[in-house]
Amino acid sequence: MTFSQDLALAAPELILAVGALGLLVIGAFSPRATTALMIASIGALVIAAWAAAVGPAGRGFSGGMVADSASAFAKVAIYLASAVAILLGQKWFERKAIRNFEFPILVLLAALGMGMMASSGDLISLYMGVELHSLALYVLAAMHREDVKASEAGLKYFVLGALSSGLLLYGASLVYGFAGSTRFEDIAVSVQAGAGTGVLFGLVFVICGLAFKVSAAPFHMWTPDVYEGAPTPVVAFFAGAPKLAAMVLFARILSEGFEGAAGQWRQVLVLIALLSIFVGAFAGLAQKNLKRLWAYSSIANVGYAILALAAGTTEGMQAMLVFMILYLIDVTGFFACLTALSREGRPMETIEDMAGLFKERPGLALAMTAFSLSALGLPPFSGFWAKFYVFKAALNVGEPMIVTAAVLGLIGSVVAAFYYLRLLKVMWFDAAPGQVDKAPGEAQAVAIGAAIFSFPVVLGALVFLDPLAKAAAVALGLAT
């Protein structure tokens, strides 16, 4: 391809990169123009999403970048979720009298890195995308500088993130050394008959590095502390879009680069999936802080997504994509609820704080009920359909290991039901300790909108989401 064709493939990334640099210059000279920067950043993300949806397909930059149905599917969801995060976060900082013009710019840079992850065609672009989005997230975690917990969260995330990046880079270097190339296509040729010992060691390190990025057990240690300490709207961003980007990257490297070694990496993924499901289910039982609780919930949910990936089929890829989109909407809506709720100016972040919420704020209580029942997997909420896709894909594989993992995953879902039901009991039946403050309009709108999507809109949305996810799964290239 010519250089101009390469640039056409990278149009979404160019829009975000130029937008971020331009807004950084504007913010440096007009740091109080936060509203204008917020609007411009959201506009850049919407334009980038449109460019990803209608842009050309192909491989550019010597195979380092892939533009296909899978990358377009992921980028549209990532960019739109990032736009919602900017809206929630900028308004939250303004209410705290914190004017950080860098916030929307950092989200743009994180979205840029996530877009690169979804389009990675080799180990170099993979690492560049992972690091670009990670560096922005480290700063976002500590964005509330006056809050000790936020600073601690940012530091922990940075230190542990550096460790995972080292694992990822070491694994990539081993794969390159033994396979002789960084391109996924070339690596696939070298492992057609299965991965040799050196390549397999490298792949395991790469999987471990990516498992950290999606907060899968046993690489989840950062998640509860960072979720608890980071600003709530920032957590809404952490919990959704970066995980979708990392899961698509996970799928792409395994399907395009290591399909011939599927029998080897499948065992690793099943182990990670089951550990994540049970760590999330059982550790969540002891949590009283809702941000920590939903951190463990996210660990368990990532386990289900990895279980779908472990199926090693196009149907499994499709299930993973549907699951992540529905999860992204639910988790964003839940943290939008927490962003909207406070009593006497104090954030409501524990289960006890939610006592009597239905009588005080019935709309938000119903929204949190929808998200809890969805996370539980109760039909007909979106979480039920997400898990339905995952278990269906796993059972259709027919292999005893995958089927057993699916049954154990269902048991883990039943265990986790306890802490969701406990939250519902407190909201609906306990006495309120005080009056709930008026909810900010944008957070309430996002929360209620996401709840309405969870049910009943999801029933109609699946009609469109299902074929889009299937086309994206086919583009990833695994055998049916």
The residues, any chain, with a CB within 8 Å of residue 421's CB and separated by 6 or more, are 372, 376
Residue 310 maps to a domain: yes
Let me know: does 402 contact 311? Beta carbons within 8 Å. yes
pLDDT above 60 for 247: yes
How many CB atoms lie under 10 A from the CB of residue 98? Answer: 16
Dihedral in degrees, nearest 10, Cα atoms 156, 158, 163, 167: 130
Residue 367 maps to a domain: yes
Using CA atoms, how far apart are residues 222 and 231, in angstroms rounded to an integer? 15
Residue 408 maps to a domain: yes
> Which helix (H) or strand (E) element contains residue 107?
helix 102-118
Using CA atoms, how far apart are residues 223 and 215, in angstroms rounded to an integer? 6
**Residue 478: what pLDDT?**
59
Q: Could you give the 3-state DSSP secondary structure of residue 24?
A: helix
Residue 25 maps to a domain: no
Using CA atoms, how far apart are residues 258 and 196, in angstroms rounded to an integer? 11
Average pLDDT over residues 49-74: 91
> Residue 454's domain spans which residues?
261-480
58: left (phi over 0), alpha (psi -120 to 50) or beta: left
Residue 422 maps to a domain: yes
What are 140-199's pLDDT values in tens digits?
988 887 778 888 888 888 888 888 899 999 999 999 999 888 899 889 888 876 777 888
**Residue 459: what pLDDT?**
92
Residue 120 corresponds to which tokens in the numbers above? 């990675």
> Which helix (H) or strand (E) element contains residue 59?
strand 58-60
Q: For strands 58-60 and 65-67, give the pairing.
A: antiparallel
Average pLDDT over residues 9-29: 92
Residue 105 maps to a domain: no
Average pLDDT over residues 36-41: 92
The number of folded domains in the chain is 1
**Residue 206: what pLDDT?**
92
Q: Which of 295, 281, 310, 301 is nearest to 228 (CA)?
A: 295
**Residue 480: what pLDDT?**
45
The residues, any chain, with a CB within 8 Å of residue 102's CB and separated by 6 or more, are 24, 27, 139, 143
Q: For strands 58-60 and 342-343, give the pairing.
A: unpaired
Which of the 8 DSSP states describes residue 353? G
Residue 454 maps to a domain: yes
Could you list the beta-strand ranges (E) of 231-277: none
Using CA atoms, how far apart are residues 100 and 106, in angstroms rounded to an integer? 10
**Residue 389: what pLDDT?**
95
Using CA atoms, how far apart are residues 432 and 93, in angstroms rounded to an integer? 27
What are 72-108's pLDDT values in tens digits?
999 999 999 999 999 999 888 888 877 788 899 999 9
**Residue 279: what pLDDT?**
94
Residue 295 maps to a domain: yes
Average pLDDT over residues 96-125: 90
3-state helix, strand, coil in the chain (%, to 5): 80, 5, 20
Q: Could you give the 3-state DSSP secondary structure of residue 287?
A: coil
**Residue 252: what pLDDT?**
92
Residue 68 corresponds to which tokens in the numbers above? 């296909």
pLDDT tier, 1 (very low <50, low <70, confident <90, very high otherwise): low
Size (the chain), residues:
480
pLDDT above 90 for 7: no
What are 186-240's pLDDT values in tens digits?
898 888 767 778 888 899 999 999 999 898 988 888 899 999 988 899 999 988 8
